[in-house]
Amino acid sequence: QQQVKQSPQSLIVQKGGISIINCAYENTAFDYFPWYQQFPGKGPALLIAIRPDVSEKKEGRFTISFNKSAKQFSLHIMDSQPGDSATYFCAAEYNDYKLSFGAGTTVTVRA
């Protein structure tokens, strides 16, 4: 049973557009919410992360919005570039640094 639900499964965006990926969770024991980016044939790599006491975090073109009361968080990719084409996973951390992952979103940026 997926503890973190992620949507959409895939999305296509034009170069320069905004990509939005949403995640929701139920377990209130989660205390850290990272996003990972994965390119074909590679392992996932940390993109950006947030703690639940913060409502928003921005790093370059990537922003996490976090709504603790709704148990939802989202990733916004601004000014999407072809190099952003990858699979993105939201995750939630619980005891002993374990991660529960969403199912993933494949983002395709059209030039």
Partner 1 sequence: DAGITQSPRYKITETGRQVTLMCHQTWSHSYMFWYRQDLGHGLRLIYYSAAADITDKGEVPDGYVVSRSKTENFPLTLESATRSQTSVYFCATYRGREQTQYFGPGTRLLVL
Q: Whose Cβ is closer to partner 1: residue 72's or residue 106's? A: 106
CB of 70 to partner 1, least distance (A): 21
* Region from 12-20, 44-52, 67-75, 76-84 binding partner 1, contact rule CB under 8 A: 44-52
Query: In which region does residue 97 sit, left (phi positive, over 0), alpha (psi from -120 to 50) or beta (all else)?
Result: left
Residue 50's identity, in one-letter code, is I
- Residue 32 CA to residue 53 CA, distance in Å, equals 10
Q: Which of 20, 76, 99, 108 binds partner 1 (CB under 8 A)?
A: 99
Q: Is 97 in the site for partner 1 (CB under 8 A)?
A: yes
Please compute Rg for the chain using Cα positions.
13
